[in-house]
Amino acid sequence: MTDKEKTPGTTDPSAAFSMPDETAGFALAERCVWHLLEKAGEDLVILDMRGRSDVCDFFVLASGKSDTQVRALAKHLQDHLVEAGHKPKGIEGMSEGRWALLDYFDVVVHVFKTDSREYFQLDKLWGDAGRLDLAPDWFAAADVAGRHPDLKFITNAGDGAAE
């Protein structure tokens, strides 16, 4: 792929990029999903924002059933990413619990209470972005485990819990 093909406005952005890929940004987005699954996050999606946004390369979208779960998901993610050396550039909404936003430069994580996610509809707003819906069995694949050797992945499709 040439640099011209990657330049926004010169071609269809969805044709220029695909997921999964070997970029650090995608690996971080995948790691975010893993940690959100550890706390029973729901409807986990990675949106490929490359060529669509100057803010980040990927959005991670997740839902929680209550204000308490949204706060717990965001705090759990933040704690584990700090342990892995990823300090957020910014955090918003942690105290309210309706919509928490964690900005990791290349990846922006949105953790919504289910009704807030339905209201704001980021999935539809960015409907032209590449989309990858992830469930726990995603992490059973050898190539995924290869991108994250420090995480303990299950060895067959299952509930996504660590071994």
Task: Give the least confident one: 14-23, 41-50, 102-111, 125-134.
Answer: 14-23
pLDDT at 153: 60
80 domain-assigned? yes
29 domain-assigned? yes
Count the domains in the chain.
Answer: 1
pLDDT above 50: residue 129: yes
pLDDT above 50: residue 163: no
pLDDT above 90: residue 78: yes
33 domain-assigned? yes
pTM of the model: 0.83
Task: Give the least confident one: 54-63, 100-109, 149-158.
Answer: 149-158
46 domain-assigned? yes
pLDDT above 60: residue 161: no
pLDDT at 147: 86
Distance, in Å, from the CA atom of 75 to the CA atom of 145, rounded to the nearest integer, reads 24
59 domain-assigned? yes
User: Is residue 76 exposed (0-12), middle (13-18) or buried (19+ Cβ within 10 Å)?
Assistant: middle
Provide the domain limits for residue 61: 22-147
12 domain-assigned? no
77 domain-assigned? yes
- CATH number, domain containing residue 84: 3.30.460.10
Chain centre distance of CA 88: 14
